[in-house]
Amino acid sequence: MSAPHRNGAPASLGCPLSARKGEVIVLGHGSGGRLTAELVSRVFLPALSNPLLDRLNDSAAVKVGASRVVFTTDSFVVNPLRFPGGDIGSLAVNGTVNDLAVTGGQPIGLSAAFILEEGFPIVELEAIVQSMRTAADRAGVSVIAADTKVVERGKADGLFITTSGIGIVAGKIELGAERIQVGDAVLVSGPIGDHGIAVMSAREGLEFQTTTISDSAPLNGLVSEMLESGGAIRCMRDATRGGVATVVNELAKSSGVEILIEEAAVPVRDGVRAACEILGLDPLYVACEGRLVAITHSGASDQVLAAMRRHPLGSDSRRIGVVTRSATSRVLLRTAFGTTRLLDVLDGAQLPRIC
Amino acid sequence: MKFLDEFRDAAVVHALIGQIRATITRPWTIMEVCGGQTHTIVRYGLDELLPREVALVHGPGCPVCVTPIEMIDLAIELSNRPEITLCSFGDMLRVPGSTRDLFDARAAGGDVRVVYSPLDALELARREPIREVVFFAVGFETTAPTTAMVVHQAARLKVPNFSVIAAHVRVPPAIEAILCSDENRVQGFLAAGHVCTVMGIDEYRPLVEKFKVPIIVTGFEPVDLLQGVAMCVAQLEEGRAEVENQYARSVKNEGNIAARDLMAEVFTFVDRRWRGFATLPKSALALSDRYAAYDAIRRFGLTQTRANEPIECRAGEVLRGLLKPPQCPAFGNSCTPDHPLGAPMVSTEGACAAYFRAGRLAAAATEAK
């Protein structure tokens, strides 16, 4: 069926109506941006809603006796399986450890489920599982439950891994986006975008030479240092899919505040900047796997920053912004020229530009 | 970073703003032709810094935005055929055709792949000889040479299962169409530097002579754009109309002769309807008869039927500089980057997407007042 013409205007002046997406899953639903949020609110929350899930935190906290236990799960479908600085195995361990860590939990055990494609080389699986072991040792956690399924060739992209994790939150720790207040400082634990660029540099059809290696790392040690510093930390998030911009937007939304990010203060390595220039990407939206964003009381930011910088995974930590207002959920970016623009969430996947 | 930081230097930017303020005595309307330039202006908020007298309007130079709907429909039609693998740039996959886009076609089972270079598509054809690999080639004179190169190589290597839908377009006919229009209000142009890197600047001299408008060949960084605006304002204030080259670090008068020679061999000029414009004479590049075997339209016997356009999207007026994206009633309402009604809301170079991402702040501030 054709769409009607605008009255009196030549047909060439308009452009076509697209069928509303939503009938089938598109790749953008997995980007961590607006489409993912839409899927969560339209499909998952209506069916599964409960007070713990509805908070949409990286991990859910439940009281078990006198202890607070945090629980989380995450699937890993990275392509390629190996990239500079890591592989799907270490990523699957670090990702879940980090989701526990940023909610204040010390990980006590992980599970790992493997979906293997028929024909996948066992020697490659061995290397990936060994890499999981190394990553788990580094984080001080064990894989205490596991499962394996095999699907026919063509039904999976080599190997998918899902990890879940439980952790214990120490007594006094209280973290949450609802604690954010006007005047608070926004900190980031190091240069952003390394993981996304490292993966892209190894992706088929896009191979480019870079010295950038993934930042994939367990953040529980860094988080412990931060919590022990005694500075008032309101909340933390690890900046994975969708990058720092997406995480800061999530924080602004769930706490109902306006956050101002100073573009010049955001640490980005030259190699990442260069790759982003070539590909037409904004580093603020490129994934990290070993960086966190923390919101602290403004008076505590120096104390927390000092603690972060003492840890090897936080040595390049920076203060990148401030919570400016309440009652309006958005993120603004101040450029080096003093102009200000909206730093929105990503719509679908970031696509390399044409020219 | 070398070659970037010096063109994003805040002190230089503010000095150029001062220079423009000191020169300007009355309002001028200047069009930046290329979507990449629009993106820089909005991303860095350069329009906020400029004096009120400078009205920047955004031009048609977004390749996915002006690709006619019929060509997208053809690509979608081809992607439905079981023997065909359709390749294109990522941006192109989200541009709506008459009823759906190429991502929808892929979700419905079509073999649609994102490539970063046409050479990847040719490589795919050689690797999978039982597939018919079709590259959907879009873009201005900037990307046309790589398409010319890949068609030339396919012929040289005698790759039988590779072809292209050539949807390349040229900038000068679009500038001429804007200047010929009764509704035109553009008084000076910032021409697209990368197009001129390939084509040189001589194509623009007849336009300057005929229409008495300054055309400044301009780069893409904040300092480039403000320097371009400063040069354009100086010409307008002095009553001059010349072609000037701000982007001399990349653009030579004669352009890239090797690229132009290859384009002349592989392509021929044809008339084409642009999205947002009427049919523009000699505005597009089609494969020449010598390379007809690599023309997907001829190979698969496709006929272009004229597609219908809807009432709601006013991208045509945006692309001709008559309407700013937030002035469109659909902007941010029924048309968003998730659910684009028109191509300018899709591409990173599209004016609507640039405003949606970065410029909503200004719109919100206006609403607040």
Instruction: Return the domain boundaries, chain B.
Output: 1-369
pLDDT above 50 for A15: no
Nearest-neighbour CA in chain B from A125: distance (Å): 27
pLDDT above 50 for A19: no
ipTM of the complex, rounded to two decimals: 0.77
pLDDT above 90 for A200: no
A8 in contact with B at a CB cutoff of 8 Å?
A: no
Which residues of chain B lie closer than 8 angstroms to A21, CB-CB? 104, 338-339
Nearest CA in chain B to A28: B338
Place of tokens 């990847």: B120
- What is the share, in percent, of chain A residues with pLDDT greater than 90? 68
The residues with which B111 forms a beta bridge, in sequence order, are B85
Q: How many beta-carbon contacts under 8 Å exist across A and B?
A: 192
pLDDT value at position B341?
81
Average pLDDT over residues B250-255: 96
Which residues of chain A lie closer than 8 angstroms to B336, CB-CB? 347
Under an 8 A CB cutoff, do B107 and A26 touch?
Answer: yes
Nearest-neighbour CA in chain B from A3: distance (Å): 5
pLDDT value at position A206?
66
- What is the share, in percent, of chain B residues with pLDDT greater than 90? 65
Which residues of chain B lie closer than 8 angstroms to A191, CB-CB? none
- What is the share, in percent, of chain A residues with pLDDT greater than 70? 90
pLDDT value at position A281?
86
Q: Are strands B279-287 and A143-151 parallel, antiparallel or unpaired?
A: unpaired
Structure-model confidence comparison of residues B304 and A62, the more confident one:
A62
pLDDT value at position B308?
65
pLDDT above 60 for A287: yes
ω into B60 cis (within 30 of 0): no
Residue B61 confidence class, pLDDT cut points 50, 70, 90: confident
pLDDT value at position B325?
87
By Cβ distance, the residue of B8, B308, B309 closest to A336 is B8
Nearest CA in chain B to A35: B338
Structure-model confidence comparison of residues A235 and B103, the more confident one:
A235
Residue B359 confidence class, pLDDT cut points 50, 70, 90: low
Lowest pLDDT segment from A25-29, A229-233, B263-267: A25-29
DSSP three-state, residue A70: strand
**Distance (Å, rounded) from C-alpha A141 to C-alpha A232?**
27
By Cβ distance, the residue of A14, A337, A342 closest to B313 is A14
Under an 8 A CB cutoff, do A336 and B100 touch?
Answer: no
A327 in contact with B at a CB cutoff of 8 Å?
A: no
Lowest pLDDT segment from A85-94, A114-123, A208-217, B258-267: A208-217
Nearest-neighbour CA in chain A from B273: distance (Å): 8
The residues with which A167 forms a beta bridge, in sequence order, are A70, A107
CA distances (Å), origin B65, targets B89, B143, B164, B340, B342: 13, 15, 19, 12, 8
B/e letters for B52-64, b = 16+ CB within 10 Å, e = fewer, are eebbbbbbbbbbb
Return the top range by mean pLDDT from A202-211, B23-32, B354-363.
Answer: B23-32
Under an 8 A CB cutoff, do B313 and A205 touch?
Answer: no
- CA A60 from chain center: how many Å? 16
Residue A11 confidence class, pLDDT cut points 50, 70, 90: very low
A15 in contact with B at a CB cutoff of 8 Å?
A: yes
A46 in contact with B at a CB cutoff of 8 Å?
A: no
By Cβ distance, the residue of B140, B340, B348 closest to A280 is B348
**Distance (Å, rounded) from C-alpha A39 to C-alpha A45?**
9
Q: What is the model's pTM?
A: 0.83
pLDDT value at position B366?
46
The residues with which B61 forms a beta bridge, in sequence order, are B34
By Cβ distance, the residue of A5, A18, A26 closest to B311 is A5
Structure-model confidence comparison of residues B157 and B345, the more confident one:
B157
Which residues of chain B lie closer than 8 angstroms to A12, CB-CB? 273-279, 309, 316
Nearest CA in chain B to A38: B338
Nearest CA in chain B to A37: B338
pLDDT above 50 for A355: no
Average pLDDT over residues B194-202: 96
Structure-model confidence comparison of residues B64 and A225, the more confident one:
A225
pLDDT value at position A20?
45
Q: Are strands B28-34 and B54-61 parallel, antiparallel or unpaired?
A: parallel
By Cβ distance, the residue of B45, B96, B347 closest to A18 is B96
A338 in contact with B at a CB cutoff of 8 Å?
A: yes
A50 in contact with B at a CB cutoff of 8 Å?
A: no
Under an 8 A CB cutoff, do A277 and B4 touch?
Answer: yes
Place of tokens 């060509």: B71
Residue B337 confidence class, pLDDT cut points 50, 70, 90: confident
Under an 8 A CB cutoff, do A11 and B308 touch?
Answer: yes
Average pLDDT over residues B307-311: 66
Q: Which of residues 262-301 of A touch B (CB under 8 A)?
A: 270, 273-274, 277, 280
Instruction: Give the dihedral sign, CA B128/B132/B137/B142.
Output: positive
pLDDT value at position B349?
67
Place of tokens 């906290």: A61
Average pLDDT over residues A158-162: 95
CATH 3.40.50.11740 fits B1-369, yes or no: yes
**Distance (Å, rounded) from C-alpha B166 to C-alpha B147?**
8
User: Which domains, from first to last, does chain A contain?
Assistant: 24-54 (no CATH), 56-169 (3.30.1330.10), 177-342 (3.90.650.10)
By Cβ distance, the residue of A14, A24, A340 closest to B361 is A340
Place of tokens 């597609």: B307
What does the mean pLDDT of chain B come to? Answer: 90
pLDDT value at position B143?
92
Under an 8 A CB cutoff, do A12 and B143 touch?
Answer: no
Residue A215 confidence class, pLDDT cut points 50, 70, 90: very high
Average pLDDT over residues B199-213: 97
pLDDT value at position A203?
79
